[in-house]
Amino acid sequence: MDQKYKNIGDVITICNQKGGVGKTTLCFNLARAYSLQGKSVLVVDLDEQANITQSLLASDTTIESSVADFLISAPIHAIETSIQATIFEDVYLLPSGKHMMSQVLAAMSSDGAVGSEFYLKKALEKLSEHIDIVLIDCGPNINRITMNAFTASSKIAIITEAKMFSSIGITKILGAIDVVRQYFNSDVAIAGIVVNKFKSNVVSANEWIEYMKELTIDNDLSVIEPFIPDREPINKTVTQQKGLDELPSFGVKKLLSIYDEIAKQIVKEKKA
């Protein structure tokens, strides 16, 4: 595969336009998983809710410049000046600009903003330090900002809960990825579907499994295994700003191994 960036290994977008399915929690735990594997990680927060920014930054950190400063045609700073150290060693953050993101979106979508789908990619191309993995946390939308994430990515991971309501919207994401492949980034791969908050003992799980089988066969998609269960320690990671490895709860080792395996599955090259 062509090396798209001089200084970056893989750029991975985590997305689903449905809110609350676990995008940010996955991003947070994957960032830790990759760093425990010895990789350097840059998390890009493209969500104006700024949840991952809050989870990854120490509370006394001030944000002077955000990703919003790079989602324009001619950024004035070097990208390095906006990248922050985080609570995790070897994990860095390009934070969200909260309310500024809606202004950015309006500017990007205006008639004059030719090529605005490429703003994030152009900014990442200028990164002078080497980063193994860039993880992009998206908000619950498919808009010009999401298109920037897809255009900048080598891989997209779609996360869903094991419920019909959260999986039905996946076809809309696939449509957006098709557009990106046609016009902006023909190389982007779908790493697969990550299943979150899985409860095997629920009757509706069977109906959902059937739906997912059809969806994946029809669209040549893979479901990434293992599934992520619904567990309190996972919820605690983002709220208590700790890696699973730093939480002294029962069963945490198993959860750690799940994220470790998903992290490996996502970066694995697909057979042609």
Which positions touch ligand ATP (CB under 6 A)?
19-25, 47, 49, 51, 139-140, 196-197, 228, 230-231, 234-235, 238
Binding-site size for Mg ion (CB under 5 A) equals 3
Residues near 137 by Cβ (< 8 Å), separated by ≥ 6? 14, 23, 24, 27, 43, 44, 45, 46, 47, 51, 52
In the complex, what is the shortest distance from the CB of residue 7 to ligand ATP, in angstroms, rounded to a whole number? 27
Residue 23 in contact with Mg ion, rule: CB under 5 A: yes
In the complex, what is the shortest distance from the CB of residue 145 to ligand ATP, in angstroms, rounded to a whole number? 13
Beta bridge partners of 31: none
Tell me the C-alpha distance between 226 and 188, whole Å. 23
Select the span of 23-31, 87-95, 207-215, 231-239 touching Mg ion (CB under 5 A): 23-31
Residues 24-43 as x/- pattern, contact with Mg ion by CB under 5 A? x-------------------
Tell me the C-alpha distance between 117 and 108, whole Å. 8
Residue 13 in contact with Mg ion, rule: CB under 5 A: no
Tell me the C-alpha distance between 105 and 98, whole Å. 12
In the complex, what is the shortest distance from the CB of residue 107 to ligand ATP, in angstroms, rounded to a whole number? 22
Nearer to Mg ion, 23 or 122 (CB): 23
Nearer to Mg ion, 23 or 242 (CB): 23
Of 153, 148, 1, 4, the closest CA to residue 67 belongs to 148
Nearer to ligand ATP, 127 or 212 (CB): 212
Nearer to ligand ATP, 151 or 196 (CB): 196
List the structure tokens of 181.
Answer: 């492949």
In the complex, what is the shortest distance from the CB of residue 234 to ligand ATP, in angstroms, rounded to a whole number? 4
Residue 54 in contact with Mg ion, rule: CB under 5 A: no
The residue ranges of DSSP E strands in 95-225, in sequence order, are 131-137, 155-161, 189-196, 223-224
- Interface with Mg ion (CB under 5 A), residue from 13, 29, 51, 96: 51
Q: Is 267 exposed, middle or buried (0-12, 13-18, 19+ CB in 10 A)?
A: middle
Interface residue list for Mg ion (CB under 5 A): 23-24, 51
